[in-house]
Amino acid sequence: MKKYVFYPLLGVLLFAGCNPQSATKTVHVNLSGLAQGSTITLATQDQNGTLTQDGNYTFTVSSMDALSIVDVTNNPNRPEKATSLQMCKLTTTQEDATITCEERAFFENTSTLWSTNGTAQGTYSLGQISPRHFTVMGNKLYFSACSGTYGCELWQSDGTLSGTHMLKDINVGTNSSYSFYNMSNRETSVKVFKNRLYFLAIDDIHGTELWSTDGTTEGTTMLPEMLDGNISDWPHEGFSFAVYHDELYLNAAAPSYSYGTWKITSPTQKTSILPSTMRASGFVVCNDQLYVSANDKSHSKLYAYDGTTLHEAPAIPNAYVLASNAPFACYENKLIFSSTDNQLALEKLWYLEDNTTHLFSSLTFPYSPLHAENALYFLAEDVSTNKELWRYQGDVVEKMTNLPYNFDMYYYVGEKFLIPMGKLGIYAYANGATTQLSIDQSYFYLDVLGSTHSHLYFRVNSSYDNTQAILLRTDGQTIEEIGRFADFNQTN
């Protein structure tokens, strides 16, 4: 296949191995609305190229009819909780072409899949299919959805009604596979790796197993079982993935407490790196090693794996035991992990540096770590405050918020931390200051629906039965009302 390279200063697409004299047309293409970090693959016959930013392009083609968008790829550094796709439309004339892109959010409301670009006219439904657990691979949305014919299975959407469909009937018939099974934490329970999406699903023959898909029906397959028959191999808690040395690792489980950490060597093979008697509960990559927390029913230990051998990391004091989700984060070459005080049963943070463990902080019950702005952010409690947002930077741990009530979730959108606080609205933290974005006090509750790079979408209700649900969004500076769900287009 012939390839071309785009040189921005020239504004010309040059085709490698192509004879310029054979080109029959010069095409001017205007690209607008492409989100930062996203890419478009543009093709004409056997020539492909990548567009990475808005602007005007000029290149030669053999035929305008062959000009097409092959693929649109989302920014790989998109927010962790984002449920959005970059959608682009190509319009051509005899001499020119225009590519217009927009980022659309996807979410569930009253068992219906919805999509919006932030306007009332651009908000529509994609079917009443009870969608759950959204994740993105390439430029397709993957989720669990239900129908009367097939039960709840793995679905796929390109953002259009015609492109929204079941990908595979994993548990054949009306029984459900509950794809993305028990996915309480989307960021750890599914994983996109080397153009495949790994997830849990159930069928009547094998039980709960690990599956993967390349986005096609034929390419949706189950990995080999550890035990034959209808016995579930995988845990219902602590399930997580990690990528280390360009290979995929995950926590897996078999009956009789036979848990372990596994390396996925291919879409059809896996090997264990822990003894079968050890139960792994979490892992973090740090200092070019994979750290695993595991126990053998009586002792919790921290292990380090270098790709070949496994050895025990330095122990913490006897007064503490590793928490169930011990490996917490890696920051500035320090492995940060949590442990529990045997007497007070309070989780605290420690760090491992130069093969020695140190008490990191007296904060308790830490969770939800996020690397942003050259710092480590996380939620935690101390003896004098509610649960708050904290920051670790330059060996200093400091509290970033002081909110009136406890909260369990935050969203990092548009370089701002957005914290839903019920009828109090949304609290936005940025640049050392917290701002309250209020909502009408007549609303009964606030539910976050999803996010894009720049906005957090949520709904409020003026009735208890969702018939008066209103869609809103915020960029962390203002709250914008988009409209009532009852007034939007029901299909697109």
**Residue 232 to residue 429: CA distance in whole angstroms:** 43
Higher pLDDT, 464 or 334: 334
Higher pLDDT, 407 or 11: 407
Measure the CA dihedral 391/394/395/397, to 10°.
-20
Which residues, including other chains, have CB under 8 Å from residue 9's CB and lie 6 or more apart? none
Which residue range forms the structural domain that includes residue 346?
314-400
Tell me the average pLDDT across 14-28.
56
Residue 405's Cβ-count burial label (10 Å; 0-12, 13-18, 19+) is: exposed
Tell me the average pLDDT across 124-149.
91
> What's the mean pLDDT when you consider all of the chain?
81
**Residue 29 to residue 355: CA distance in whole angstroms:** 56
For residue 9, the model assigns a pLDDT of 33
For residue 376, the model assigns a pLDDT of 92
**Residue 48 to residue 70: CA distance in whole angstroms:** 8
For residue 444, the model assigns a pLDDT of 75
For residue 273, the model assigns a pLDDT of 81
Within a domain: 8: yes
Sheet containing 300-305: which strands, arranged edge to edge? 279-286, 289-295, 300-305, 310-312
Asked whether the predicted pLDDT for residue 292 surpasses 60, the reply is yes
Pairing of β 2-7 and β 12-16: antiparallel
For residue 196, the model assigns a pLDDT of 92
Asked whether the predicted pLDDT for residue 226 surpasses 50, the reply is yes
Within a domain: 421: no
CB 474 within 8 A of CB 456: yes
**Among 23, 53, 73, residue at a domain's last position:** 73
How many other C-beta atoms lie within 10 A of the C-beta of residue 277?
Answer: 14
Which residues, including other chains, have CB under 8 Å from residue 228's CB and lie 6 or more apart? none
Reported pTM? 0.85
For residue 6, the model assigns a pLDDT of 38
Q: What is the pLDDT of residues 41-68, one digit of tens each?
A: 887 655 677 888 999 987 777 777 778 8
pLDDT confidence band for 13 (50 / 70 / 90): very low
For residue 125, the model assigns a pLDDT of 95
For residue 14, the model assigns a pLDDT of 39
How many other C-beta atoms lie within 10 A of the C-beta of residue 297?
Answer: 8
pLDDT confidence band for 12 (50 / 70 / 90): very low
Within a domain: 376: yes
Within a domain: 64: yes
Residue 187, φ and ψ in degrees, nearest 5 = -70, -20
C-alpha 269: how far from its chain's center?
24
pLDDT confidence band for 252 (50 / 70 / 90): low
In total, how many domains does the chain have?
A: 2
Q: What is the pLDDT of residues 143-199, one digit of tens each?
A: 999 998 999 999 999 999 999 999 999 999 888 887 665 544 445 568 888 889 988
pLDDT confidence band for 259 (50 / 70 / 90): low
CB 423 within 8 A of CB 462: no
For residue 227, the model assigns a pLDDT of 53
**Residue 422, H or E segment:** none
**Among 32, 51, 73, residue at a domain's last position:** 73
Which residues, including other chains, have CB under 8 Å from residue 38's CB and lie 6 or more apart? 52, 72, 73, 74, 75, 86, 101
**Among 73, 91, 124, residue at a domain's last position:** 73
Within a domain: 408: no
Within a domain: 212: no
Residue-level length of the chain: 492
Q: What is the pLDDT of residues 69-128, one digit of tens each?
A: 888 887 766 666 678 998 999 999 888 899 999 999 999 998 999 999 999 999 999 999
Q: CA nearest 278: which of 254, 257, 250?
A: 257
Within a domain: 370: yes
Residue 182's Cβ-count burial label (10 Å; 0-12, 13-18, 19+) is: middle
**Residue 238 to residue 292: CA distance in whole angstroms:** 12
Within a domain: 387: yes
Measure the CA dihedral 425/129/237/459, to 10°.
0
Q: What is the pLDDT of residues 170-184, one digit of tens each?
A: 999 888 887 665 544
